[in-house]
Amino acid sequence: MNIALWLFDAAQRWPRRPALFAGSRQVADYQAFAARVRARALHLRQEHGIAPGERVALLMKNSCDYLELLYAIWWSGAVAVPVNSRLHPLEAAWIIGNAGARLVYTDAGRVFEPGALAEACRELPGYDLPPLPAVRGDELLEPWPREADELAWLFYTSGTTGRSKGVMLSHGNLIAMSLCYPLDVDPVSSGDAVVYAAPLSHGAGLYNFIHVRCGARHVLPQSRGFDAPELFGLARELGAVSLFAAPTMVKRMVEQARAQGYAGEGIKTIVYGGAPMYQADLSQALDTFGPRLVQIYGQGECPMSISALSREQIADRAAGDWPAIAASVGRAQSCVEVRILDAEGQPAAPGVPGEIVVRGAPVMQGYWDNPSATQAVLLDGWLHTGDIGFLDARGYLTLTDRSKDVIISGGSNIYPREVEEALMQHPGVFEVCVVGEADAQWGESVVAFVVLRSPGSLDPQALNDWFVTRMASFKKPKKYLFCAELPKNSYGKILKSQLRQRLQDPTGPGGNP
Ligand code: AMP
């Protein structure tokens, strides 16, 4: 089944329901949304000769055009390759080349130097597109038929480590992960408004499907990105707003909301995930916004759909087990099974950390044109996530780290996440990131990059004194490096690789912290 059938169906059932909003202004109802999409799908086919299965890339900031182009690609039977718009043109060109895309839409159609893209690939402007003439005839009246296992979205992993790989998500994968949302994350109704404050090329974009299926409103902020005051204004005006936000975005929302005396009016749900949310930050978010938060855990390879932690459990701070529950990523979502494997590949006992593996309908088809990478992570039908965590006896999953992030010092495994949690509880600490550094004596030693709320207010000794009252001293950082901010990618994830580079070459481009 082609996932664009959800749009076709919504337009038939609810032609006059408001669909697309540029800021708070409605620009299309569902009938107009589907009609534009069909016209663009025909254009792709007739003007550009795009055949079913061919790839079309999008390298654009968020806009209504973006959503229309995505659906046009699927309606025509082709495959969308949404690329992070903040990548360097050279990185984007690599992805577009790797995907073998025939077309790439960029905002103004002028990102790439001549010769930067393969000969067979054309760059076109995709933002503020002029309307296409009304379509006559009956070609592509309905989305082009697709099987559930046919490719819909080539999702290039965000690449906080190594070169990004094209995760193959089929129509069936997208349908499965979308159906988990109302079951495990948040029920959706037609009165809802999903605001795309994070890039459509990533998790936020994947949340469009279920909102199309339910005939809800899709709101593309005028800033074309994340701007907390704008978001609060939209929520107040439109009401019933839900959004996906990385933990760093939630943190910025909290600061801004506190500064302007906003308490979440008009926001229905903030779904956070994609990176750890520290308990100190979660508590502040709850103080500020109340019971509006839901957590998900996923990865490109099993998008947004490994586990979820419910609104009720996040908000129930009176529960005795809240610290443990809030530190977890919740329970397996409806269409997946989650296990923890020990070093021998056997299921680990409750509470014992090991690699998180998952299987189920949203799990990717493999990596594009990369069978060896596929074989390394898809084993016996299980996706090996590369994340380390444990399941408790009740089925709550807690992430301790990514396997490659574990620091092995003097033969002991140290999970950066727990060191970070302990330091984050210090009221003077704003952000922290812990990495390992090669150490002649111990193999590796623990290094903490720390951003203080007020620069100069704490020294390493003060942090050490704090730390040893909370954690085993073998886990304590050997070094504290204070910096003004931590490097992050455009999805708000801290770039550990850059911090490791800084350690190797403090005078290099990463800069001396
Ligand atoms: P990506 O494929 O770029 O979306 O990155 C996925 C990775 O982000 C996962 O494998 C985890 O390491 C991390 N991640 C995703 N969700 C969470 C979460 N709720 N808490 C902590 N880490 C997360």
DSSP string, 245-256: E-HHHHHHHHHH
pLDDT of residue 507: 65
Most ligand 1 atoms within 8 A of CB, residue of 164, 244, 299 to mutate: 299
Q: How far is CA 202 from the centre of its chain?
A: 5
The residue ranges of every structural domain in the chain are: 5-127+144-391, 406-504
CA of 274 to the centre of ligand 1 (A): 4
The conformational region for residue 93 under phi > 0 = left, psi -120 to 50 = alpha, else beta, is alpha
Domain 5-127+144-391 and domain 406-504, same fold? Reply is no
Instruction: Look up the pTM and report it.
Output: 0.88
CA of 49 to the centre of ligand 1 (A): 37
Most ligand 1 atoms within 8 A of CB, residue of 84, 297, 494 to mutate: 297
Q: Which of 275, 307, 310 is nearest to 293 (CA)?
A: 310
CATH fold of 406-504:
GMP Synthetase; Chain A, domain 3 (3.30.300)
- Concatenated DSSP letters for 340-399? EE-TTSSBPPTT--EEEEEEETTS-SEETT-HHHHHHHEETTEEEEEEEEEE-TTS-EEE
* Residues 199/178, Cβ–Cβ less than 8 Å: no
**Tens-digit pLDDT string for the chain (513 aa):** 999 999 999 999 999 999 999 999 999 999 999 999 999 999 999 999 999 999 999 999 999 999 999 999 999 999 999 998 988 888 899 999 999 999 999 999 999 999 999 999 999 999 999 988 878 889 999 999 999 999 999 999 864 445 679 999 999 999 999 999 999 999 999 999 999 999 999 999 999 999 999 999 999 999 999 999 999 999 999 999 999 998 889 999 999 999 999 999 999 999 999 888 889 999 999 999 999 999 999 999 999 999 999 999 999 999 999 999 999 999 999 999 999 999 889 999 999 999 999 999 999 999 999 999 999 999 999 999 999 999 999 999 999 877 778 787 876 778 888 899 889 999 999 999 999 998 877 778 999 999 999 999 999 999 999 998 888 788 899 999 999 999 988 777 888 889 998 988 766 544 433
Tell me the CB-side half-sphere exposure of residue 407, using CA atoms within 13 A.
28
* Residues 400/390, Cβ–Cβ less than 8 Å: yes
| Parallel/antiparallel/unpaired status of strands 151-156 and 166-170 | antiparallel
- DSSP structural state of residue 493: -
On whether the 5-127+144-391 domain is CATH 3.40.50.12780, my answer is yes
pLDDT of residue 11: 98
* Residues 373/165, Cβ–Cβ less than 8 Å: yes
* Residues 57/255, Cβ–Cβ less than 8 Å: no
Distance separating alpha carbons of residues 239 and 412, to the nearest angstrom:
50
pLDDT of residue 512: 38
Helices then strands, counting H and E runs in the chain, come out as 16, 26
Judge if the beta carbon of residue 60 lies within 6 A of ligand 1.
no
239-260: burial string, b at 16+ Cβ within 10 Å, e else: ebbbbbbbbbbbbbbbebbeee
Q: Which residue, by CA, sits nearest to atom 22 of ligand 1?
A: 275
Q: Which residue, by CA, sits nearest to atom 5 of ligand 1?
A: 299
Q: Which two tokens stand for residue 122?
A: 């054309």
Judge if the beta carbon of residue 273 lies within 6 A of ligand 1.
yes
CA of 384 to the centre of ligand 1 (A): 13
Distance separating alpha carbons of residues 47 and 133, to the nearest angstrom:
13
Angle between helices 460-468 and 416-424 (to 10 degrees): 110
Instruction: Point out the ligand 1 atom lying closest to the alpha carbon of residue 203.
Output: 4
pLDDT of residue 160: 46
Judge if the beta carbon of residue 158 lies within 6 A of ligand 1.
yes
Distance separating alpha carbons of residues 308 and 301, to the nearest angstrom:
16
Instruction: Point out the ligand 1 atom lying closest to the alpha carbon of residue 202.
Output: 4
